[in-house]
Amino acid sequence: MLYHLYEAQRALMEPFSDFASVAAKLFANPSSPLAQTPFSQRIAAAYDLLHRLGKDYEKPEFGIRTIDIDGVQVAIHERVEMERPFCELRRFKRYSDDPQTLARLKEQPVVLIVAPLSGHYATLLRDTVRTMLRDHKVYITDWKNARMVPLSEGDFHLDDYVHYVEDFIRYLQREYGNCHVMSVCQPTVPVLAAVSLMASRGERTPLSMTMMGGPIDARRSPTAVNNLAVHRSYEWFENNVIYRVPAGFPGEGRRVYPGFLQHAGFIAMNPDRHVNSHYDYFLHLIEGDNESAEAHRRFYDEYNAVLDMDAHYYLETIRTVFQEFKLVHGTWDVRAPDGTLERVRPQDIRHTGLLTVEGELDDISGSGQTQAAHDLCTGIAADDRRHFEVPGAGHYGIFSGRRWREIVYPVVRDFIRAHEPARGGADPAAVQAEAESLAAAIRRDDTPPARTARRARRAGS
């Protein structure tokens, strides 16, 4: 019922928001008679703020058209490479007519960025993508709004998230031979699970994993987010934050954790900061500081755009990651597509480098939560593991903004580069994996010569 009331309120507010937008332009346009009054600038600013507080925020675009690489403008073409019911694998393909630049682009590493499915769209990582494009071929998981997914597509579980990541990794491995994986915030857990399962099965694993600000072990330095999950029962979340999508959307009837509730939670974490930010925006408009006002608009166009999450995925994440800590306890079983259960064993990962990144002032994933991955991935050699704490950075600062571009990115870039196979030689990890696969085949008596001998015996009989 709450979702229906929210949609009714949104529909009621929409014409008032549109009116406020028109009024703001009338009082701000120098050619308008209304702009000649003594308080026209203040009235225009008030209407503009009212419009932004009442408008509906749609999914933003990545909007990355070009990037500068060593003084050369490189065109970016964004396209969908793979599509799943709840996610698209999006590629940012780079084009250049400069032969030297083009040759360099073709030799650069392939990176899968796994974006969080925790309220905001993947476009929250726009700055991450733009920066990574300087030295990498970049793909990203673009999660869909669950209210736009018909019930006929089925439910979405945490296990499905893990399988999506596995499928995307395999796709890039088929295309390029191998890839690197980078996860930001929430997906650090399912990404670690996906790579662990692939390692346990003897599949080829990514060359490196970069994990940034995620709740690998949510018991360490608990934040307000962690405390809420611990102090409330699973049933409380199911009864208080899960609602059905109302009529008028493709996903009508789907049980979801609505985006507007998530947004309310974001605001409630730092209400004073948001009130001050909007007041500063009002003052910027009065003063004619268009640059600061535009920066405010860009931030809140992204921050206020939220999506619904399928109830199964959300509730299972609460229980698995924040209440029962199954990953760190070694009790997490993921259901395979064929119905069998597979135990998540990070200690089985051997041929993948591990870089963890944390912000010193992160108030969402506390200190040590991401670093805990090193305690789990004991099969990775010490030389292939690194932890980096970003001084003075909060949660968003480790993947967006000046600190990300100037401090974090060079560390990530160099770590990925260090785990690229040597030019002109075989990948040591691939060689080792092939050797282990052959050894397993010998133990099963399933080598090519053995199969040939069996076929000959059958033919002779």
Which residues, in sequence order, are bridge partners of residue 90?
80, 140
- Domain extent at residue 456: 431-460
Answer whether residue 42 is part of any domain. Answer: yes
> How many residues would you count in the chain?
461
In a domain, 254, yes or no: no
Q: Tell me, what's the pLDDT at 444? A: 53
What's the CA gap between 249 and 160, in Å, rounded? 23
Q: What is the DSSP annotation of 114-154? A: E---SSB-GGGGHHHHHHHTTTSEEEEEEEPPGGGS-GGG-
β pairing state of 208-212 and 180-184: parallel
Residue 252 lies in a domain: no
* 319 and 195 both lie in a single domain: yes
* CA pair distance 358, 373, nearest whole angstrom: 12
DSSP symbols for 202-256 = T----SEEEEES--TTTTSS--HHHHHHHHS-HHHHHHHS-EEPPTTSTTTT-EE
pTM, 2 dp:
0.86
What is the amino acid identity at position 219? R
**Segments of the chain with pLDDT less than 50:** 424-436, 438-439, 441-443, 447-450, 452-454, 456-461
Q: Is 157 within the bounds of a domain? A: yes
**In-domain check, residue 160:** yes
Per the CB < 8 A criterion, the answer to whether 345 and 200 are in contact is yes
Q: Would you state the structure tokens that stand for residue 455, as one six-digit string?
A: 């076929």
Asked whether residue 412 falls in the same domain as residue 456, the answer is no
34 and 105 assigned to the same domain: no
pLDDT confidence of residue 449: 43
Q: Domain total for the chain? A: 3
Q: Is residue 75 part of a domain?
A: yes
CA distances from 267 to 10, 207, 262 (A): 18, 38, 9
In the DSSP assignment, the letter for residue 128 is H
**Per-residue pLDDT at 127:** 96
Q: Say yes or no: 222 and 318 in one domain.
A: yes
Question: Is the domain of 100 the same as that of 167?
Answer: yes
What pLDDT is stored for residue 303 in this prediction? 87
Q: What is the CATH number of the domain that holds 219?
A: 3.40.50.1820
Give me the pLDDT at residue 416, please. 97
Residue type at 343 in one-letter notation: R
The per-residue pLDDT for 446 is 52
Do residues 184 and 109 share a domain?
yes
List of E strands, 33-124 = 66-69, 72-84, 87-95, 110-114
Tell me: do 379 and 283 sit in the same domain.
Answer: no
Please tell me whether residues 85 and 33 are part of one structural domain.
no
Q: Which region holds residue 157: left if phi is over 0, alpha if psi is between -120 and 50, else beta? A: beta
> Is 89 within the bounds of a domain?
yes
Whether 298 and 314 map to the same domain: the answer is no
399 and 275 fall within a common domain: no
- Please report whether residue 188 resides in a domain: yes
Q: Same domain, yes or no, for 50 and 132?
A: no
Tell me: do 28 and 48 sit in the same domain: yes
Q: Are 82 and 152 in contact (CB under 8 A)?
A: no
